[in-house]
Structure 1
Amino acid sequence: MPTDEFFKISRETSPYAVANETARLYGKDVECPAEWNDWLHNAQVIPKKLLPKSSDNMLMNLPNSTPVETLMCYIGIGDTYTPAHKDLCASSGQNLMCYTEEGGSSIWFMTESSSTPEVDAFFKKLGNEIDHETRVLSVKDLAKAHFNVYVARQRLGDLVLVPPRSCHQVINSGGISIKMSWSRMTIRGLMAAYYHELPLYRRRVCRPETYKIKSIIFYTLLQKASQLRALTERQEHGTAIAADLASVVDLFACILVEEYSGPAPQFDPLTPGTASSEPSSFDPRCYEPKDGCLVCDFCGADIFQTYFESENCCADSPDTAQASKSDPFVLCPGCYAEGRLCQCQRMTLLQCYSFDDLHKELQDAIIVLETYQTKNRLTIDAQRFDVQ
């Protein structure tokens, strides 16, 4: 629908839902105009730390060939809404109201991050999953909740910050309002995503990961190690970077344990080239997955290193009769370990790169961290990073 027509219909629609109403337009996940993007980053209105392209946003560590776009617009009138949900992968949300007509505003209902288990149980009692984003809670529903719910009205110029794993819903009020929304990923967000959100997505709700958490952790490991190495060589302090690197080292060590598949697996390099029994030349700083990404066809998890593939079945339908009509059927290690299979049940174990190369990157990061802490007379628990 053309933008002019969308606005014309919205202006002619009552700001309150009426009986027998059949449709009410709400523009969600609309591409943000380039001019607005430029203003956001150059007008010096929003603190730099909160901007999409901030150096504190770990999403920016992904290669330019595989970016994650989170900056979007939401356009609606009264009684349009966004159902209760959590932002993807424990990311931090920012929402700026940029334009309104006829007193347009938005009412936010938000929980504390620590209340996530209680909210999850509450939705189950109502017969819903919070991660399916299918329900808007009424005031009567919220009155029965055994957790705190914070309510705020967002008006023109207001910036709403949504903490990681906070459950929230938004109901628009009055005339047209336009909001810019974007996500950031912090180190703590990566930890929450890996330990809490990703297992939930895979085991219970099969929600597409989208944000490539394992890849972000890997590139953040490289970035933080490079930064700390440079600071150490210049004999400068970098306590915050060292703390970040220590956290990412722990995360990446867990990933390698999860992705380990024993000696001599078959390789299918994601960089352009022909698959062979030997890995391609490994340069993690030039890692470019084919077609932008590779995901599990069952749960939607991002494939970082190890996966199972069936060329007899296809991704659109795990049926041998359809195999020639689509890409091979792919499963992540977690789904395969839990018994999820394609119809033919003949799957090949593949890896994107040599495990030894990934392990070396981890060991190099540990050496950088230990060197920094030794030179600055700090202590480190050597057993903490034992990934033999």
Structure 2
Amino acid sequence: MIYVGNSETFTPAHKDVCGALGHNLMVYSDNGRTHAIWCIMKYEDLEQIRIFFQQNGAFLDDDNCFLPLHILSKAPFTVYLFEQKLGDLVLLPPSAPHQVLNMGGKASRKFGKNQVYRIKAVTYYSMLKYSEKSQSFTKLEDIGSTENERKRFSDDMLILLRIFDDILFEESIESDVFDDELHVTKLPETEKYMHSRYCDHCKCDIFNRCFHVAKTKLHQAYDLCINCVAKGRGSFFGDEMNLMEHISFSELRENFEQAKKSYLNVQQLMKNENITTMDDLEKTIWITRDPCKTTSITTIAWSNMYYSKHHKEFPEYLPCHQCDDSKPKYCTKTCTKCNTSYCNQCLWDRYTLTLCECNRLKNWTCPHCNDVCNCVKCLKKRDIDTLSYSTNILSRMDEIKDVLPFSVLDVSGNESTTRILDSICDLPPQPIQHLTEAKNATRILNSIAKNCPLVETNCAPKTKKRKIIIINKNPDQQQIKIIHNYYHHQKVSVCGNCQRSIATTISLNQTSRNFIALIAF
């Protein structure tokens, strides 16, 4: 497996589930400046690491959060930094939590072998085997000669029923809107090779249903799993993508109902008073999920494909409350309480929510109703300073600039310090406490600031002005652009007060490394 990462992309904090020694080799880089910053933690501190991530609003096992260096510097455990360049091999200790930041350009790293585990197929055929076996039971001794054997058989069959109930629910398409146009084609494999497919994007197992693109002169045949289509993949293929399946959904449902009847027969032979009817059994199976509050992943995937095809003929747009931009309806989520819409880009960038996660909830309440909306209007209503508020919850890219080829530091305060970290590129791996002095250097000597040239922005002067000092760490850097309050839909920076663009371009002088930019707000 090869991971390709562009500059300023990152791998969230996680630990490898295989528990083996990790081998990570960088095999490609755009230029000589391309490198990756590894933040590695000890496995012995795993419990402290989990608690620390939870205190900062993230979960280590969810693989969805990159903690910036100034937060990791406050951790009660040791964190090591290592810079990986082209040709460097990083040997990762078994089960060691780590996160990676790509810098300088596009890089390819980390080899591995694709592994596909047919868990769903194993569950389905194991359930059929248990069901067939339990149908022949006529007395208690047929289940097992001892009480432990009977209890084990009953528990194992209940586990299989719960797992397959979730599989069957995710394979279903619930909405009646699509009944007229719901056409599912049977996959051409024989029974021997029925479950041999896997997703060509994420390499996950395809048990039954998938979206298939037939081979053409322009591209090879392509398979996408339900999860990838639900998350927005495959829109490029358009009408060429079709929903296909190995086994009809009605056959899967009939086999599941027969397995439940067989399990109910086992409980009656064991004289279990808690499970006497089919309703009792369904409540026992549904212990981990409420089908009345959750939408199946196949319903979301089919909806994405259906509306993306019909959007060209009947375009429908909704305004996003966060960015005020009009987006296609299938790219937005509307609140069931106040009918406020949020686009997929703002949900991810501002709240670390994917559109697929929001679509899973039938009664979804938006950030505005939960009083956590961080748009400019809502922040002003709650009397929060829009200039100092960090809106990017996931990556905190406004803080990750500490490890960029140049640093942007606030010097508007009175206190100062002279210790500035030039770069982490030439330092060996060591605890992060010694590498975060750049974050602590938020106050620079006033004497340095007085000797630096001033650069005005293209925004009209206001009563409040902020000074920031630029420490140029790359001698080849000729220009840098400071962008404040970046909006994805506008592709331009916007002032939080006057709503005008305030992108500031600074030309770097070869004889001086320090510059002052006077930013007006």
TM-score normalised to structure 1 length: 0.35
Bigger relative contact order, structure 1 or 2, given CA contacts below 8 A and separation 6+? 1
Higher helix share: 1
